[in-house]
Structure 1
Amino acid sequence: MYDFSADMTDCAKAVEIVLGTRLSVAQLSGPGPAADTLVKAMRHGSLEGGKRLRPLLVRQAAAIFHVPADAALIAGLAVEMVHCYSLIHDDLPAMDDDDLRRGRPTVHKAFDEATAILAGDALLTHAFDLLADQACHPDPAVRIALVRELAQGSGGGGMVGGQMRDIEGEQGGFSGDDISTMQAMKTGALIRASVRMGAILGGADARALAVLTAYAEAAGRAFQLADDILDVTASAATMGKATGKDAALGKQTLVTTLGVDGARQHLNDTVTSALSALRTFGPKADGLRATARYFASREN
């Protein structure tokens, strides 16, 4: 019987341990010595917090193809480093201007803005170093495929492009499907990449990859929709960060369009869509099913 809580806890613990080891002066140095302050800022923005859901998705997708959890860890770690860099940069005054993240001062508050920018830059850069390492996977072709997947999920057509669309939407408003497109890129693209990277580790064929992509895109929509609902309904103490910011900024989300009740119904429908995509895998995909359900039920 699959135990989601145990799997999530085990994954988070593994990520914390290995990330703590990797984010050291010794590991990050070469050709010159890594600066102590930079490493401290990278650690502040990455360790002691977070549910590590993206590495969990890598692990769960890989498990469908009988890839052991430890063999999926490095790829998951790379995704998490990209995610952490994005949070550091999103919190900057020029972006979302947040002082609190995971119940602690954001990196630019704990250090300064320049250090926060550089810490994010370094996390992003070293994420791809992890994927290039033979420890990630023995086959160079697989490693190249992982690099490309993460680059596409986090770049101009993915997470970063989605952030740009979000900024443009704040300035000029959204119309039609613009909100969904922005969210699919800003939040969904890295979730999509996580699932697909797990499938790549497992040697998935084109059909299996397409099925998992359909799941991942629905799961990404569910995650963002749940986040938008929590921004309206949860407290800052529960979330570990400021809430109510979307409304304060006049930002359009599906919650402002549909209302909270309508958004919750849409969330349930989206999760159902994600689960339906996994029928072909049977019990092997129970991990991914549990994560999609968790996206809808989470409280922070």
Structure 2
Amino acid sequence: MVSTDERIAPQEGVSAFDLAAYLKQQKAIVEAELDRSLTVVAPEKIYESMRYSLLAGGKRLRPILCLATCELMGGTLEMALPTACALEMIHTMSLIHDDLPAMDNDDYRRGRLTNHKVYGDDIAILAGDGLLAYAFEYVAVNTREVPAERTLQAIARLARAVGAAGLVGGQTIDLESEGKSDITLETLRFIHTHKTGALLEACVTSGAILAGAGAEDLQRLAKYATNIGLAFQIVDDILDITATPEELGKTAGKDIKAQKATFPSLLGLEASRTEADRLIEEAIASLEPYGTKAEPLCALARYITSRKN
């Protein structure tokens, strides 16, 4: 697997891209906007529950990808920031619901108690519903300096990614596959390109759409996103076996306990690492036409296979 060094080695004549500084800067922007986006009003309990999970930290990789692609296509942070925050709201909803007893039944997320362990199953379900609905409202109301047609296209991408054609569909097959010993690699790829990859693709393409990207650019970026999305899930599968609960911030070994098919269970650890690396290199290759302007996206792709949680 690639090096964990977050300073990307320079090519000849090109200065190193400081990924650590870039992540810190972009994450600070996203965190501040998320904090502003959601205040506690009556009924206080549901807003507190929504904020509890939304502001629980994390890498903020999804909103950062959205901001990066918007800038790559000539847009600004301000154009994409509402959509970036909406993507984090949708992602947070998926985590809240995924942790519920009826789903993965987990007690910890990002190093602290899951939403339903603090607020109860009922409020956790409603908090996820509230974040999902608010995500679309936030894009529609707060997006500035973007033609309405582009904003609508971005909203449509988000909606498709989270619905039965994306995350919900992938989660359904994932649940149906638990405990089965005949799950194929094709089925596993379907699960993860929908459950994880669809939202990551929406992150990448929505930022580009807001900036006015054309069909050819969107095709390249979608290929990049598909590859990093699958690599992201392969690394998740590996970390579930190799990382400690402290490193993960959540329970380790859940996949084995739930008898889930994973890339390591089908391919083995080393072959899974090799496949993740191959996908990342393919993702980076798809960005070659953009030259050094794509450095943030290339660095983010490499970060996916070097992460420890």
TM-score by length of 2: 0.92
* Structure 2 counterpart of 1:14, one-letter code: I
Higher relative contact order, structure no. (Cα contacts within 8 Å, ≥ 6 residues apart): 2
* Structure 1 counterpart of 2:26, one-letter code: C
Indicate the residue corresponding to 2:31 in structure 1: 16
Per the TM alignment, residue 131 of structure 1 is displaced from its structure 2 partner at its CA by 1.4
The count of residues paired between Structure 1 and Structure 2 equals 293
Indicate the residue corresponding to 2:102 in structure 1: 94
Which digits, 9 at most, give the CA deviation of each residue in 1:59-79, with x for residues without a partner?
111111222223321110010
Indicate the residue corresponding to 1:225 in structure 2: 234
Indicate the residue corresponding to 1:255 in structure 2: 264
Structure 1 Cα separation of the partners of residues 193 and 142 of structure 2: 31
* Counterpart among 261, 270, 275 of residue 279 in structure 2: 270
Which digits, 9 at most, give the CA deviation of each residue in 1:122-157, with x for residues without a partner?
000000001111535532111110110000111101
* Structure 1 counterpart of 2:307, one-letter code: R
Q: Is 1:59–1:69's contact at 8 Å kept on the other side of the alignment? A: yes
Indicate the residue corresponding to 1:59 in structure 2: 67
Structure 2 Cα separation of the partners of residues 24 and 84 of structure 1: 16
Classify 1:251/1:111 alpha carbon distance in 2 versus 1 (closer, same or farther; 3 Å): same
Structure 2 Cα separation of the partners of residues 14 and 77 of structure 1: 10
| Secondary structure in structure 1 of the residue aligned to 2:59 | coil
Aligned-residue CA RMSD (Å) = 1.3
Per the TM alignment, residue 178 of structure 1 is displaced from its structure 2 partner at its CA by 0.3
Alignment of 1:80-229 (within 5 A): 80-172=88-180, 173-229=182-238
Q: Is 2:179–2:260's contact at 8 Å kept on the other side of the alignment? A: no
Structure 1 Cα separation of the partners of residues 37 and 114 of structure 2: 21
* Structure 1 counterpart of 2:306, one-letter code: S
4+ residue segments displaced more than 6 Å: none
Per the TM alignment, residue 21 of structure 1 is displaced from its structure 2 partner at its CA by 1.6
| Secondary structure in structure 2 of the residue aligned to 1:25 | coil
Indicate the residue corresponding to 1:69 in structure 2: 77
Structure 1 Cα separation of the partners of residues 179 and 78 of structure 2: 44
| Secondary structure in structure 2 of the residue aligned to 1:218 | helix
Structure 2 Cα separation of the partners of residues 202 and 4 of structure 1: 23
Per the TM alignment, residue 171 of structure 1 is displaced from its structure 2 partner at its CA by 4.9
Per the TM alignment, residue 297 of structure 1 is displaced from its structure 2 partner at its CA by 0.3
Indicate the residue corresponding to 2:56 in structure 1: 48
Indicate the residue corresponding to 1:246 in structure 2: 255
Classify 1:138/1:273 alpha carbon distance in 2 versus 1 (closer, same or farther; 3 Å): closer
Per the TM alignment, residue 277 of structure 1 is displaced from its structure 2 partner at its CA by 0.7
Q: Is 1:218–1:274's contact at 8 Å kept on the other side of the alignment? A: yes
* Structure 2 counterpart of 1:8, one-letter code: L
* Counterpart among 213, 237, 253 of residue 246 in structure 2: 237
- Worse-superposed segment, 128-137 or 9-18: 128-137
Gaps of 5+ in 1: 27-33
Gaps of 5+ in 2: 1-14
Per the TM alignment, residue 9 of structure 1 is displaced from its structure 2 partner at its CA by 1.2
Indicate the residue corresponding to 1:29 in structure 2: none
Which digits, 9 at most, give the CA deviation of each residue in 1:85-134, with x for residues without a partner?
00000000000000000011000001110000000000000000011115
Q: Does 1:287 align with 2:296?
A: yes
* Structure 1 counterpart of 2:258, one-letter code: L
* Structure 2 counterpart of 1:244, one-letter code: G
Classify 1:149/1:278 alpha carbon distance in 2 versus 1 (closer, same or farther; 3 Å): same
Q: Is 1:63–1:284's contact at 8 Å kept on the other side of the alignment? A: no
Which digits, 9 at most, give the CA deviation of each residue in 1:258-298, with x for residues without a partner?
11111111111111111111111111111110111000000
